Chains A and B, each alone.
Chain A
Amino acid sequence: MTIKKVTTVRPNSNWSFIDTKELFEYRELVWVMMLRDLKVRYKQTVMGVAWAVLQPLTMIAIFSIIFGKLAKIPSDGYPYPVFVFSGLLAWNFFSTSVSSSGLSLVNASNLVSKVYFPRIIVPIASIGVSMVDFLISAVLLVLLMLFYSQSISWSILYLPFFLAGLIFLSMGLGSWLSAVTVTYRDFRYVIAYLMQIWMYITPVLYPVSFVPEKWQWILYLNPMYAWINGIRASFLGQPIDVFGTIISLALTIVIFIVGMLYFEKTQRRFADII
């Protein structure tokens, strides 16, 4: 007979980090939940997956007309649609990840109050869906670049690094927000609000050079700075801002750790208050 694991249940302990071993045991559940969200997404729609293409295309068109043509915002010498989309795809990933994972726990309240599993799976799985959108958008961007006869350089190899940074930031922030939303439903509204403002203070629709040089240091305080810029640079072949990347990386690590700690600290109360 195999030795069976003994599990101990005790009152809430102090600060601890996510139990990664347990998370690994439940890895299939992460996958199953992601798959569920993906499958459900376009059920009973006529256009199906076409929505994933249509939505970014509409946004590119609108932003290109308003910011590119009318407001004449510079775009580092690239065609504005290519420029704006190379930032927008990363931003969309971040914004949908954070909003969906922020609300994920509250939306899964019947699961949380009826069955045990590592709670962190819920916000993590909801990021998976945004990941698929990101990949579709990435293909779209490449097509758009070919259309505008832009070449793809070796710097595309940096993409996984910057994408990983973006995922960690989304996970940290999304998990923290999901835990806070369980107690304070105000954050439902705060998240939408926050994402709107954040987009305009991040160089998504405009290049960094658009900001007067003496104010550019403010951009560094934004943990999104390097990820947006880096992903754009990977696609367009621009030089990488190493200093900015280090600062964003440091901020991202802090946010990730704080988010996970807070989540772990509060997760055992979820079922009582959700």
Chain B
Amino acid sequence: MKKAITVRGLAKQYQLGQQRESGSSFREMVLSALRKPLDNLKRLRGEGNELKSFWALNDISFDVEPGEVVGVIGRNGAGKSTLLKILSRITSPTKGEINYTGRMASLLEVGTGFHPELSGRENIFLNGSILGMNRTEIEQQLDDIVKFAEVADFLDTPVKRYSSGMYVRLAFSVAAHLNPDILIIDEVLAVGDQAFQQKCLGKLRDTAKTGRTVLFVSHNMTAVKSLCSRIIYLKDGEIAYDGSPEEAISKYLSVDKCDDATWVDENNKHTYLKRVGIESTDSSPGNTYQYSESVVVRLDLESMRTLQFSPAVRLTDVFGNILLTSWDEDYLGVRQKNETETLRCTIPPQLLKPGNYIVTALVHVSDKDGKVNAEEVNLDLLISPEHCPIPAGRLGLLSPTLQWQIDV
């Protein structure tokens, strides 16, 4: 049988423009103002030696069989979105070739092309046509779309009066009723409330069952795992792993991880995160803790004055469920940061059930354009089953010992 998608030697290069330092004296100011149009022209034309380029994707090849549901995972900047954009023909590759069979629809954003002034009904037709449906198809599916989105009463209200939940539901519903041969989805499930997310996942699963090919990018490992029969794990623009979901997720989660309880930025790879450690309350490093012990995550940070940035600690279980994320601001409030700092975040005792966890120390830096760059370090954490009063098979992601009170 013919392949649904074949990708051969795909590569994409982006140009990075760098700003030239502008002078401080009046003379330099005038000179640079005069030079500016010329520089701008060079930059816009993609010339000039101060341009740096980087490969967002490098030599990617894979095949997808019809009816396969393939997940694409990887960290921010690994090239996932670029891959989807090239597949859905939004941008063209620098090298390589893609062939696909049948009609393709891509959903890189929920509600692309929605117009706030138009009613729900008008937007269904607008959005549907943009996504590649024709009028008859939309008319046939209109009732299903409205029912799925649960907005029947508001169909003739302008969507600007919708709550954000309704808006997202309607938008996803239109997309969910597309009937392409190949469906490409980017992280759209990160929207809506829990119940609706489950509904969307269910809808996607049905789509997959009808023999459509689905390519699905997500950070939600639980969703990826429950949907996909195969996962492509991208790392730095290359395929790091392509195969079974379990293997891919465990590879993904173990990247940059060290078995030690302490990680030190030896190669000077990071700007902010210099050292991360898991310690007990008396500052002795270690990976294994009792259920009844506190776990301290220590972050040594540098050059923090420069920009808006926020450190955090995230806890993920081995199935990829994010259990919690704690930002320093939650507790310390917004504050003036020091040039170098050591932060300690304490995970309370009697919270995590015995098992393996990944502790992620992360720093989000937003530059002046509002773009977020992240530095992340993962460490292993083990809560030992010994001396734990909670039985191993207890349901729930967490096993906190909660307070109970008796009134007789």
Name A116's contact: one of B88, B109, B115, B122 (CB within 8 Å): B88
| B36 at interface, CB cutoff 8 A | no
A235 CB to closest chain B CB (Å) equals 35
- In the bound complex, how far is the Cα of B118 from the Cα of A5, in angstroms? 34
B98 touches A8 (CB 8 A): yes
Whether A115 contacts B129 in the complex (CB less than 8 A), given A8-B98, A12-B92, comes out as: no
| A216 at interface, CB cutoff 8 A | no
B88 touches A268 (CB 8 A): no
- In the bound complex, how far is the Cα of B132 from the Cα of A117, in angstroms? 8
- In the bound complex, how far is the Cα of B380 from the Cα of A193, in angstroms? 63
- In the bound complex, how far is the Cα of B338 from the Cα of A231, in angstroms? 72
Whether A184 contacts B44 in the complex (CB less than 8 A), given A10-B93, A114-B112, A268-B91, comes out as: yes
| B117 at interface, CB cutoff 8 A | yes
Contacts of B98 in A (CB 8 A): 8-10
B44 CB to closest chain A CB (Å) equals 5
A82 CB to closest chain B CB (Å) equals 37
A43 touches B117 (CB 8 A): yes
Give the number of A-B contacts (CB < 8 Å): 97
A66 CB to closest chain B CB (Å) equals 37
Contacts of B14 in A (CB 8 A): 272
| A69 at interface, CB cutoff 8 A | no
- In the bound complex, how far is the Cα of B115 from the Cα of A116, in angstroms? 18
Question: Of B100-108, B245-253, B285-293, B360-368, which stretch is located at the interface?
Answer: B100-108
Whether A32 contacts B129 in the complex (CB less than 8 A), given A7-B104, A40-B118, A44-B117, comes out as: yes
Name A29's contact: one of B89, B97, B112, B129 (CB within 8 Å): B129
B97 touches A8 (CB 8 A): yes
B266-324 contacts to A, CB under 8 A, are none
Report A34-52 CB contacts with B as 1/0, cut-off 8 Å: 0010011001100000000
A3 CB to closest chain B CB (Å) equals 9
B90 touches A183 (CB 8 A): no
| B86 at interface, CB cutoff 8 A | yes
B96 touches A11 (CB 8 A): yes
Report A14-43 CB contacts with B as 1/0, cut-off 8 Å: 000000000000001100110010011001
B45 CB to closest chain A CB (Å) equals 8
Contacts of A116 in B (CB 8 A): 88-90, 106
B112 touches A111 (CB 8 A): yes
Report A88-131 CB contacts with B as 1/0, cut-off 8 Å: 00000000000000000000001111111100000000000000
A115 touches B90 (CB 8 A): yes
B92 touches A36 (CB 8 A): no
B112 touches A5 (CB 8 A): no
- In the bound complex, how far is the Cα of B95 from the Cα of A116, in angstroms? 19
A115 touches B112 (CB 8 A): yes
Contacts of B94 in A (CB 8 A): 11
A87 CB to closest chain B CB (Å) equals 34
A107 CB to closest chain B CB (Å) equals 12
Name B90's contact: one of A7, A33, A43, A271 (CB within 8 Å): A271
Name A115's contact: one of B96, B125, B131 (CB within 8 Å): B131
Contacts of A117 in B (CB 8 A): 130, 132
20 A-B pairs with CB atoms under 8 Å apart are: A4-B102, A7-B99, A7-B100, A8-B97, A8-B98, A9-B86, A9-B92, A11-B93, A29-B130, A36-B118, A39-B118, A43-B158, A44-B117, A111-B130, A114-B90, A114-B108, A115-B112, A271-B90, A271-B91, A272-B91
Residues of B within 8 A of A (CB): 14, 44, 85-104, 106, 108-109, 112-113, 115, 117-118, 122, 125-126, 129-132, 134-135, 158, 181
Known: A110-B113, A183-B44. 5 other contacts (CB 8 A): A6-B101, A9-B89, A115-B90, A115-B112, A269-B91
